[in-house]
Chain A
Amino acid sequence: DADPLITEVQDWASAFGDPVDATPYGMPIHYESHVVRRNVEWLTESPVSSINFTPIHALEGTITPQGCAFERHHSGAIELAKQDYRLMISGLVERPLVFTYEDLTRFPRTITTAFCECAANGGMEWGGAQLEGCQFTQGMIHNMEYTGVPLRLLLEEAGVKPEGKWVYAEGADASSNGRSMPLEKAMDDVLVAFFANGEALRKEHGYPVRLVVPGFEGNMWVKWLRRIGVYDRAVESREETSKYTDLMPDGRARKWTWVMDAKSVITSPSPQAPIRHGKGPLVITGLAWSGHGKVARVDVSLDGGVNWVEARLTGDVKSKALTRFHLDLDWDGSEMFLQSRAVDETGYVQPTKNQLREIRGLNNVYHNNGIQTWWVRADGEVENVEIA
C-alpha cells in the first residue's frame, strides 16, 4: 500500500514550525529524550558522591555532547562564577601567583581533543558480566574538544624551582579531590581548560576551569581547579592512596596507575541497541581509545574471538582521543558473539578480561580494559555475557 506519510500532505509540510528563538539555547528534540545520562543507584550511598554514565549506545561520531557526558563528583557539582574564580600556583616556585579567570584568558591558547575515562569504567564487571548495556559497562567516558592554556605556560610564569618534581592539583569543591602527577606530564600535554566543544564548560564538568590530562584516568582531571602546588614528591592524598589504587592478588597494591590502556567496545548492536530490522545489511559501530597515543587498528569478531576481521577507522584518528570504527556486514540472521579488540600505536593489544584477571585477580576494580562480548540472538536482542 502507498505510504500515507508520502501520499497525504502532513501538518509539518503545510503549517509553520517553531519561530527562531523558540528556545534561545536549544535542547535535543523530544524524540531523543532517551539519550541521557543514567546512574545505577545501588552503586553509591549518596548522589553527591557518585557517578553516572554516558549513553554511548545512542551516540555516533567521536565528540560527546557536554549535556550527556558522564558526571563524577566527590562532593557535588558546585556553582563557581568566573568573577569569583581564583587559581593559585604555590609550592616550589620562584613566584607564587594568583590568577583570575580573566588572567587565564590572556595566555596563549591551544586546542586538544581528549577522552576522559573514569579509572573505574567497567569496574562492576571485574567479577563477571553484571550490567545490560554499554552505557553502564563502558559509559564512564566522554570525549570533548577543549580550549585552554597549557599548564606548562602557567608553571613557567611562576618559575618551577629545580627541586620541584611533582605537581599537585586540587579543586575548589568540598572534596578538593587532589591528585599528584609528575612534573614531566604537567609540562607536556596538560591543559587548563575553560571551553569544551566550543562553549563554556558545563557546571558538572568543572565550570569555569578544569584540568585536562590526556590519557590519564579521569579523577586527575580536577574540576573547579583552585590550586596547583609544586612539590619534590607526591602528596599521596586520599584519592591516590585509599582510592584509585589497584589491589593485586598478593594483597599489595599498585599506585600511580595513571594511564588508561587501549580499549574498545561495540556500541551498536548492544543490549540497549538491539537489531530490529532483521537480516541483511547491518552497520556495526563502536569506539576505541588509548591513553598511550593513537588507535592503530580495531578488529571485530562475530564468533567470540575465533576469527577476526579488521574494522574501518572512520574519520580522523587523534592521539588519546576517542576513535570511531565501523564494520559493514551482511548479517545472515544467525546468532553472533560480537567482540572488538583495539590495537594502539605502541603495539599494545586490548586483552581479554580473563587475561587481566590472571595477572590482577578479582579485587582490582580499576582499569578494566578487557574485551566485551555481546551475545546477539537470532531475534536481534543483545545480551552482555562472558564466555569460555
Chain B
Amino acid sequence: EPLGLGRAALPEEIAAWDVAVLPDGTGLPDGSGDVFTGDEVFAEKCASCHGDFAEGIDNWPVLAGGQGSLTNRRPVKTIGSYWPHLSTVWDYIHRSMPFGAAQTVTADETYAITAFLLYSNGIVEDDFELSQTNFKDIVLPNAEGFYPDDRPGTEYPHFSVAPCMQGCREPVKVTKRAVELKVTPTDPDGKPAGTLPDLRVGAAAGQAATEETAAETEQPDPEPAVEATAETAAADPALIEEGAKVFKKCQACHKVGEGAKNATGPALNGIVDGAAGSVEGFRYSKPMQAAAEGGLVWSHEALAEFLADPKGYMKGTKMSFAGLKKPEEIEAVIAYLASVGG
C-alpha cells in the first residue's frame, strides 16, 4: 500500500535525468555527426587526455586499436577491441565526458565523436555519418565477447570440497617477494607506509624526537627568515595548505614543483606572474598561443578570472576543466602555485 510520499516526476524532469542509452539504441536523442566533425571536436575536447588519434596520453585510456590483443599478457581494451555496445560509448561521452566538464557535449557532437572513434578503430570509413537512424546497424567487433557470470558452474564446485587440515602439501618454497619490487609506498624510515609504531620505545622519548624534528622543520634559521619576510609577507601557510588540497582537482593534468614535467597540461612552475603559453615543449591551443603572442601575463587577477571559468575566459582553450566555483578556492590555489612553483 503506497504511503503517498514523494511527488510525480514531471516529463521534463525525467527527460533531464533519464538519459540512459540501452544497447539497442533506446534512449538516443535525435541528431547526427560525421567523422570529419568528430575529428575536430575530439581534437578540441578529448585529445588532451586521449591523444589526437585516440591513442591515450600517459595512463589515460586508449580508445582505439588493440584488436586481437585480449589473449595477450598485456591486453589493450579499447572501444574497438573490448567494448560490446556502441550505446555505451555514446552514453558515457554524453553524460560523463570530458573529464572535469561532464555534460557539456551536445547530442550532435556526441554522434560526431562516436563516429570518429568508430573510424579510429577501423570500423567505418572516413565519410561515415552516425545518426539515431543508423546507430543500430553498427556492431562492435567484440559484441559477442561477454557471457554472464558462470562462477556457480565453473568455480564453486571445485572450491566447495571439504578442506584438508593435516599434511596438505609439501613444505613451502618462496617464489616471489613483494619487497623486491619496491613499489609499496614507504614511511621516511623506509618501512611500508603506516607501519605501526614500536610500543617498546617510550612515548615521551618518541614524542620528544617527533617534536624536535617538527621544530627543526617549522623554524628554519632565523636569519634567512627575516630576509624573506618582505617577499613572503603575504604567504599565508594555512591558505597555501588549503590550496594544496584544491590543487588535487588539477593534478590529473598538471604537475608543479621540483622536477615537474608537462603532462596533459603544462607544468605550472612559475605560472603566477609568468608569461602565458610559454612552457617549453607544451602544445598550446591556438587561442592560448595567440594570447601569449599578445603578451598575456598570468597576473593574480588574470589567473583568478581564468580559473573561475576557463572556457569563458579563453574560448577554445584545451583545458577541459569547468572552473573553480568558490573564490576562496581560487585564492588558495594561486597562493599554493606561487609557493611551490617559484
Residue positions of A touching B, CB distance < 8 A: 31, 34-36, 38-42, 44-49, 55, 57-58, 75-76, 88-91, 95-100, 103, 106-107, 128-133, 135-136, 156-157, 159, 168, 170, 174-176, 178, 226-227, 229, 231, 233, 235-238, 241-242, 245, 247, 249-259, 261, 271-274, 276-277, 299, 303-309, 337, 341, 343, 346-351, 355, 359, 362-363, 373, 375, 383-388
Contact = CB atoms under 8 A, between A and B. Distances in A.
B3 A131 contact: no
Nearest to B177: A385
Contacts of A46: 99, 251-253
A75 B102 contact: yes
Nearest to B15: A90
A17 B167 CA distance: 57
Contacts of B185: 38-41, 136
State the main secondary structure of chain A at its contact with B: loop
Contact of A256 (B84, B149, B178): B149
Contacts of A250: 71
Given A48-B100, A174-B103, 15 more contacts: A96-B14, A97-B9, A130-B184, A136-B184, A136-B185, A226-B17, A235-B91, A241-B84, A252-B147, A308-B165, A343-B163, A346-B160, A349-B162, A384-B178, A386-B174
A28 B3 CA distance: 42
Nearest to A308: B165
Q: Which of A133, A274, A309 has the most CB of B within 10 A?
A: A133
A58 B196 contact: yes
A261 B185 CA distance: 28
Given A48-B252, A254-B146, A303-B171, A103 B6 contact: yes
B6 A157 contact: yes
A31 to B, nearest CB: 7
Contacts of B128: none
Contact of A98 (B13, B164, B170, B181): B13
Contacts of A348: 156, 159-160
Contact of A237 (B92, B163, B251): B92
B85 interface: yes
A307 B88 CA distance: 49
A251 B71 CA distance: 5
Interface in B77-118: 77, 82-85, 87-88, 91-92, 95-96, 99-100, 102-103
Interface in B135-186: 145-151, 154-156, 158-179, 181, 183-185
Contacts of A277: 200
State the main secondary structure of chain B at its contact with A: loop
A241 B99 contact: no
A98 B6 contact: yes
A81 to B, nearest CB: 14
Nearest to B183: A130
A306 to B, nearest CB: 6
Given A303-B172, A349-B160, A97 B145 contact: no
A48 B248 contact: yes
A273 to B, nearest CB: 5
A99 B60 contact: no
Nearest to B175: A388
B197 interface: yes
Given A49-B252, A271-B192, A387-B173, A241 B102 contact: no
A268 B189 CA distance: 20
Contact of B17 (A75, A88, A107, A258): A88
B195 interface: yes
Contacts of A388: 172-173, 175
Given A57-B194, A236-B84, A355-B159, A307 B165 contact: yes
Interface stretch (B18-26, B216-224, B234-242, B299-307): B18-26
B71 to A, nearest CB: 4
B293 interface: no
B192 A272 contact: yes
Contact of B178 (A159, A385, A387): A385
B252 A47 contact: yes
Given A130-B181, A175-B96, A34 B196 contact: yes
Given A132-B192, A176-B96, A308 B14 contact: no
B146 A253 contact: yes
A233 B9 CA distance: 22
Contacts of B183: 40, 42, 130-131
A294 to B, nearest CB: 15
A52 B70 CA distance: 28
A305 B168 contact: yes
A50 B163 CA distance: 37
Contacts of A226: 17
Contact of A307 (B92, B162, B166): B166
Contacts of B200: 276-277
B230 interface: no
B230 to A, nearest CB: 35
B183 to A, nearest CB: 6
